C-alpha cells in the first residue's frame, strides 16, 4: 500500500517506522511511505562522525539504518519500504537489489540511465551523459569486485539504507529530484570522500516532487511484490 506522507520531520518518521514494525503481525499489509524531510543529516548505526566535515545549522540525527552519513532535504523523494521479507519470500540482499531496480526503472521512465557500482549501494548516473546507455566497467558482476568502488565520471542520485527487525525491513531509498545540493559538500556522502551528488533537475529532467514520488512509488510497489 502506498502512503503519501508529504513533508514530515525525520525523527518523527523514524519513530513511526519503528512503531509500525514493532506492532505489525503476520497479516499486517506492507506499506511504502513517500516522504520529504526538512534539512537533516542522518547517521547510520556504524557511521563515523568524521564524515561530517563541517558544523552547520542543519541538525544531525542518529538513525538505526545501515550505512554512513547522508543528507535529506526539500526536493528529495524519500521512500520507506516497510516489507515483511519472510512473507514476501526474499532476503535482505534481494530487497536491496529490488529497491535499486525500482530506482533504475524510475530513471528510465525519463530516459535516464542509472547505474549500480560494485561495493557501493545506491544508484548513480553519468552527470555529463545521463542518457548514455553504455554499461559501466565498475558495475557489479559475479567475478571479483574491485578493491574500492570506482566513481569515475559518476554522481550519486539515490542513496539507500535499510534496517531489518524480526524479518521485517524498513527505511529505504532517497531520490534527489530538485533540491539544494550544497549540504552534501559538508559531508562525505555515504562515507566516500569527494563523491559527487546530483539530482534529476541538474541532469535535465524537470519534474515536480509529486510526479517523481508517483513514479517511484509505483515502481517500488511492483518491484517489491512477492
Given 13, 35, 168, 190, the catalytic residue: 190
Indicate whether 132 belongs to any domain: no
Q: Is residue 67 part of a domain?
A: yes
pLDDT in tens, the chain (226 residues): 899 999 999 999 999 999 999 999 999 999 999 999 999 999 888 878 888 888 899 999 989 898 889 999 999 999 999 999 999 999 999 999 999 999 999 999 999 999 999 888 999 999 999 998 888 877 776 556 556 788 889 999 999 999 899 899 999 999 999 999 999 999 988 888 889 999 999 999 999 999 999 999 999 999 999 8
pLDDT in tens, 16-75: 999 999 999 999 999 999 999 999 999 888 878 888 888 899 999 989 898 889 999 999
- Bridge partners of residue 159, in order along the sequence: 174
What is the CATH classification number for the domain harbouring 61?
Answer: 3.30.930.10
d(CA 4, CA 62): 24
- How many Å separate Cα 211 from the centre of its chain? 17
CA distance 71 to 185: 10
Count of other CB atoms within 10 angstroms of residue 168: 20
**pTM of the predicted model over 0.75:** yes
Is 207 domain-assigned? yes
Active site residue 35: no
CA–CA dist 188, 65 (Å, integer):
17
Number of domains in the chain: 1
Domain contains 139: no
Place of cell 547510520: 44
Structural domain harbouring 183: 2-114+157-223
Task: Tell me whether residue 15 is in a domain.
Answer: yes
Looking up cell 570522500, which residue turns up?
Answer: 193
Contact 51, 44 (CB under 8 A): no
**pLDDT at residue 143, rounded to an integer:** 59
Closest CA to 90 of 30, 45, 33: 30
- How is residue 174 annotated by DSSP? E
Q: Determine contact, residues 3/186, Cβ cutoff 8 Å.
A: no
User: Is residue 21 in some structural domain?
Assistant: yes
CB 29 within 8 A of CB 88: no
Assess if residue 126 is contained within a domain: no
Q: What angle do CA 59, 61, 65 make, to 5 degrees?
A: 150
Average model confidence (pLDDT) across the chain: 92
Is residue 40 assigned to a domain?
Answer: yes
Amino acid at each position: 500500500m502506498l502512503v503519501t506522507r508529504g513533508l514530515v520531520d525525520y525523527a518523527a518518521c523514524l519513530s513511526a517506522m519503528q512503531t509500525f514494525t514493532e506492532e505489525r503481525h503476520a497479516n499486517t499489509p506492507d506499506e511504502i511511505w513517500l516522504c520529504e524531510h526538512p534539512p537533516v543529516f542522518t547517521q547510520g548505526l556504524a557511521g563515523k562522525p568524521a564524515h561530517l566535515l563541517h558544523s552547520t545549522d542543519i541538525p544531525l540525527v542518529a538513525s538505526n539504518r545501515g550505512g554512513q552519513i547522508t543528507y535529506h532535504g526539500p526536493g528529495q523523494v524519500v521512500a520507506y519500504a516497510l516489507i515483511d521479507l519472510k512473507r514476501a519470500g526474499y532476503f535482505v540482499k534481494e530487497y536491496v537489489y529490488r529497491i535499486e531496480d525500482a530506482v533504475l526503472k524510475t530513471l528510465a521512465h525519463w530516459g535516464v540511465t542509472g547505474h549500480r557500482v560494485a561495493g557501493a549501494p545506491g544508484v548513480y548516473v553519468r552527470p555529463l551523459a545521463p542518457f548514455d546507455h553504455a554499461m559501466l566497467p565498475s558495475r557489479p558482476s559475479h567475478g571479483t569486485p574491485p578493491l574500492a568502488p570506482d566513481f569515475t565520471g559518476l554522481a550519486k542520485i539515490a542513496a539507500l539504507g535499510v534496517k531489518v527487525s524480526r524479518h521485517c525491513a524498513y527505511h529505504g531509498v532517497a531520490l534527489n529530484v530538485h533540491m539544494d545540493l550544497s549540504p552534501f559538500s559538508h559531508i562525505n556522502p555515504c562515507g566516500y570522500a569527494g563523491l559527487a551528488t546530483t539530482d534529476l533537475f541538474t541532469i535535465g529532467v524537470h519534474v515536480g516532487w509529486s510526479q517523481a514520488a508517483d513514479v517511484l512509488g509505483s515502481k517500488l510497489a511492483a518491484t517489491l511484490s512477492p
